[in-house]
A and B are shown apart, each in its own frame.
Chain A
Amino acid sequence: MPESPDATEATRLTRLHAHEQASRLRAGEVSARELAEAHLATAERQNHALNAWLTIDRKRALAEADAADARLAAARAGGSLEAEHPLLGIPVALKDLVSVAGGQCTAGSRILEGYVAPYDAHITERLRDAGAVILGKTNMDEFAMGSSTEHSAFGPSANPWALDRVPGGSSGGSAAAVAAYHAPLSIGTDTGGSIRQPAALCGIVGIKPTYGRVSRYGIVAFASSLDQIGPFARDSRDAAALLHAIAGRDERDSTSSPAPVPDALLHLAESDDEAVATLRGKRLGLPREYFVAGMEPGVEAQVREAVAALESAGAIVEEVSLPHTEYGLATYYIVAPAEASANLARYDGIRYGPRLGDGDVLANYLATRGRGFGAEVKRRIMLGTYALSAGYYDAYYLKAQKVRTLIKGDFDALWARGFDALVAPTSPTVAFRLGARMADPVAMYLSDACTLPVNMAGLPGISLPCGLSDGLPVGLQLIGAPWSEAGLFALARGYEGLTAGADWRGREPAALAAADDPATPAPRERVAAPV
């Protein structure tokens, strides 16, 4: 661990939650520049061992921090500090599929290497308006296809709890960065579990909002009927504040909803007792199909313990059924690849990205796409193209869309019965070893068995840390009706209050000291046999 007084101070600052950093900024006890410096130094020191970041933009971040300090000073002088956004001066990491004008945006792919975003994504604009400080861009599975970050063209990331294990994916870099105190907040995207599963595996909070809650303008698309943007944080209050900042209607994404963004997201209970009191009388469904075969006993034990704790606080827990759960995986792995094959047709080497081959147009397409995409992306494009091809459309794509209706109907029936939320594991296992699932795509796909039905139904789902199994984090998933994010966060905050004194809450990721050591191998050196 760091020894110099400066390093100790940096460590102290990075341990603060975003809302604590905001209080100190307003009290004038710390500057946005000091916060940015502390987080940048931590990220730069540990990125060799974690590979959480693809770009750390120190110069831009410090300029933004200075601007935030100026804005804070003006607001202080003008007596309008209270009116400023809670994210003013707070460091944030963005998954490398969010456009930041003038910066690289690779989506984890060689086919976008060298591409410079010509404009800001909607959420980038929103973060700028709030005065957040963007530190850089994080690693991810190529085009968000994967559950481990191992499908990044730029090498895998490591889990801060155990460097020989994956952080989950596809938003693994964003999750690892927040878990390792490189930033208090980050942005991910979730198409089948890509926020919730890495949040679970890294021991932090992550929410996939309702489909349509956040505009996707300026985000690299994967599967457009499923993709949604959401926040990572180390507690529910911070995640809710970040969601509040990015949510809402944007004309440039016709799927973004005009549904009002609840201000309750900014006012979650501060006191643990108050938070716990809101749990009384809440109706929670426990879907029996989510306690699947192949679930690790340690995961099941922690999740069941969390459910018992919620019950002891006055929540009414009832076992329920989502009968079409077993069809979710097959349905998802038709719908998502089909949409991906269409979305990724745009990567043709004509307008941007590398152009390979020196033949005619067709030869260039084949070379650019054949060499520019990685193995998993090619697999999914092949699956999707096949599922949409003449003669197979009805048997695969149309069939999957019909089963999707049944999966959504399972959830709708429970909302009609008045459940406030469903409680389930986020991932059937804790973080697995680097390389363990790379040779078997289906084994990798099973990582998302408990998260992907939520995307199929367009619902919000949040993952919360709920304990450790063999020293590795376990995630508790809360699933809600459409637009019920504020309700989910109230439950999440209640559970946090309930477990505030738990031994595991005080634990830091076990591999941070190793991540500080420059002699520690990079994650890619730990992978035994890449495909």
Chain B
Amino acid sequence: MATLSRSDVEHVAYLARLGLSDEELTRLEGQLNHILDQYAILATLDTDAIPPTAQTIELENILREDVALASLPVEDVLRNAPARDGDFIVVPPILTERD
């Protein structure tokens, strides 16, 4: 199976939106490769004819009655927001105007 290079580790950290220090990236490169080595055993099994299992109980397409239920009060939900303005959560801008 694959081996993770330092740049692979940096790429995965970016995908996962984890800001990691150089020291953390170095440590993770070693640890992740050690863990991936343990996965190699799976390649020895022929699973071509085996269907995947995503969950273990026979419950499918569970729907509730299509009726409106009360939601949580706005005040209760917004109490945890790190920054708010009235009934809104304040976030940094994600769009910038072009000059």
A positions within 8 Å CB-CB of B: 114-116, 118-119, 210-212, 225, 251, 254-255, 257, 324, 326-327, 329-331, 333-334, 341, 345, 348-355, 359-362, 364-367, 369-371, 373, 375, 378-379, 381-383, 385-386, 389, 392, 395-396, 398-406, 408, 441-442, 457-458, 482
Q: Majority SS of interface residues in chain B?
A: loop
B34 is an interface residue with CB less than 8 A from chain A = yes
Checking B20, B42, B57, B93 against A399 with a beta-carbon cut-off of 8 angstroms, the contacting residue is B42
Question: Known: A251-B64, A395-B1. Contact between A385 and B52, CB under 8 A?
Answer: no
Q: Across the interface, do A225 and B32 meet the contact criterion of CB distance under 8 Å?
A: no
In the bound complex, residues from chain A placing their C-beta under 8 Å from that of B76 are: 118-119
In the bound complex, residues from chain A placing their C-beta under 8 Å from that of B91 are: 350, 361
Find residues 58-91 in chain B having any chain A CB closer than 8 Å to their own CB.
Answer: 59, 62, 64, 72, 76-77, 79-83, 89, 91
Question: Known: A255-B59, A351-B89, A382-B18. Contact between A405 and B53, CB under 8 A?
Answer: yes
In the bound complex, residues from chain A placing their C-beta under 8 Å from that of B62 are: 254-255
CA distance A382 to B12 in the complex (A): 6
Of listed B2, B24, B31, B57, residue having the most chain A CB within 10 A? B57
Q: Separation in Å of the A96 CB from the closest CB of chain B?
A: 16
Question: Known: A212-B59, A225-B55, A366-B17. Contact between A352 and B81, CB under 8 A?
Answer: yes
In the bound complex, residues from chain A placing their C-beta under 8 Å from that of B81 are: 350-352
Question: Known: A118-B76, A364-B92. Contact between A211 and B13, CB under 8 A?
Answer: no
B47 is an interface residue with CB less than 8 A from chain A = yes
CA distance A405 to B42 in the complex (A): 13
Question: Known: A330-B41, A331-B42. Contact between A442 and B92, CB under 8 A?
Answer: no
In the bound complex, residues from chain A placing their C-beta under 8 Å from that of B12 are: 382, 385-386, 389
A-B contact count (CB 8 A): 162
Of all chain A residues, the one with the shortest Cβ separation from B4 is A386
Q: Across the interface, do B38 and A442 meet the contact criterion of CB distance under 8 Å?
A: yes
Q: Across the interface, do B77 and A458 meet the contact criterion of CB distance under 8 Å?
A: no
Question: Known: A326-B41, A352-B80, A403-B47. Contact between A119 and B31, CB under 8 A?
Answer: no
Of all chain A residues, the one with the shortest Cβ separation from B17 is A365
Task: Give 15 A-B contacts (CB < 8 Å), ordered by A residue.
Answer: A118-B77, A211-B56, A327-B45, A334-B39, A353-B80, A359-B92, A369-B19, A373-B18, A389-B12, A401-B54, A402-B51, A402-B52, A404-B52, A405-B50, A408-B56
Q: Separation in Å of the B20 CB from the closest CB of chain A?
A: 6
Q: Across the interface, do B20 and A370 meet the contact criterion of CB distance under 8 Å?
A: yes
Q: Mark B1-37, 1 if CB is under 8 A from A, else 0.
A: 1101000110011011111110010001001101100
In the bound complex, residues from chain A placing their C-beta under 8 Å from that of B45 are: 324, 327, 403, 406
Q: Across the interface, do B53 and A389 meet the contact criterion of CB distance under 8 Å?
A: no
In the bound complex, residues from chain B placing their C-beta under 8 Å from that of A367 are: 19
Number of B interface residues at 8 Å Cβ cutoff, please give it.
51
Q: Separation in Å of the B47 CB from the closest CB of chain A?
A: 4
Checking B42, B52, B92 against A361 with a beta-carbon cut-off of 8 angstroms, the contacting residue is B92
Question: Known: A349-B82, A366-B19, A373-B18. Contact between A383 and B41, CB under 8 A?
Answer: no
Of all chain B residues, the one with the shortest Cβ separation from A210 is B57
In the bound complex, residues from chain B placing their C-beta under 8 Å from that of A399 are: 42-43, 47
Q: Majority SS of interface residues in chain A?
A: helix
Q: Across the interface, do B57 and A255 meet the contact criterion of CB distance under 8 Å?
A: yes
Q: Across the interface, do A118 and B72 meet the contact criterion of CB distance under 8 Å?
A: yes
Q: Across the interface, do A482 and B57 meet the contact criterion of CB distance under 8 Å?
A: yes
Q: Across the interface, do B52 and A341 meet the contact criterion of CB distance under 8 Å?
A: no
Q: Separation in Å of the B98 CB from the closest CB of chain A?
A: 16
B positions within 8 Å CB-CB of A: 1-2, 4, 8-9, 12-13, 15-21, 24, 28, 31-32, 34-35, 38-39, 41-43, 45, 47, 50-57, 59, 62, 64, 72, 76-77, 79-83, 89, 91-94
Q: Across the interface, do A355 and B83 meet the contact criterion of CB distance under 8 Å?
A: yes
In the bound complex, residues from chain A placing their C-beta under 8 Å from that of B21 are: 370
In the bound complex, residues from chain A placing their C-beta under 8 Å from that of B35 are: 333, 379, 383, 441-442
Q: Across the interface, do A401 and B53 meet the contact criterion of CB distance under 8 Å?
A: yes
Q: Separation in Å of the A322 CB from the closest CB of chain B?
A: 15
Known: A385-B16, A458-B57. 15 other contacts (CB 8 A): A118-B72, A118-B77, A118-B80, A257-B59, A333-B35, A333-B38, A359-B92, A379-B28, A382-B32, A396-B39, A398-B52, A401-B53, A405-B51, A457-B56, A482-B56
Question: Known: A118-B80, A330-B38, A382-B9. Contact between A405 and B32, CB under 8 A?
Answer: no
CA distance A367 to B20 in the complex (A): 8
In the bound complex, residues from chain A placing their C-beta under 8 Å from that of B9 are: 382
In the bound complex, residues from chain B placing their C-beta under 8 Å from that of A403 are: 42, 45, 47, 50
Q: Separation in Å of the B94 CB from the closest CB of chain A?
A: 5
CA distance A382 to B52 in the complex (A): 23
Q: Across the interface, do B32 and A401 meet the contact criterion of CB distance under 8 Å?
A: no
In the bound complex, residues from chain B placing their C-beta under 8 Å from that of A395 are: 1-2
Q: Separation in Å of the A216 CB from the closest CB of chain B?
A: 13
Question: Known: A383-B32, A395-B2, A458-B55. Contact between A378 and B82, CB under 8 A?
Answer: no
CA distance A332 to B12 in the complex (A): 20
CA distance A482 to B58 in the complex (A): 11
Q: Separation in Å of the B33 CB from the closest CB of chain A?
A: 11
In the bound complex, residues from chain A placing their C-beta under 8 Å from that of B2 are: 392, 395
Checking B1, B19, B47 against A406 with a beta-carbon cut-off of 8 angstroms, the contacting residue is B47
Question: Known: A254-B62, A326-B41, A382-B9. Contact between A211 and B31, CB under 8 A?
Answer: no
In the bound complex, residues from chain B placing their C-beta under 8 Å from that of A360 are: 92-94
In the bound complex, residues from chain A placing their C-beta under 8 Å from that of B20 are: 370, 378
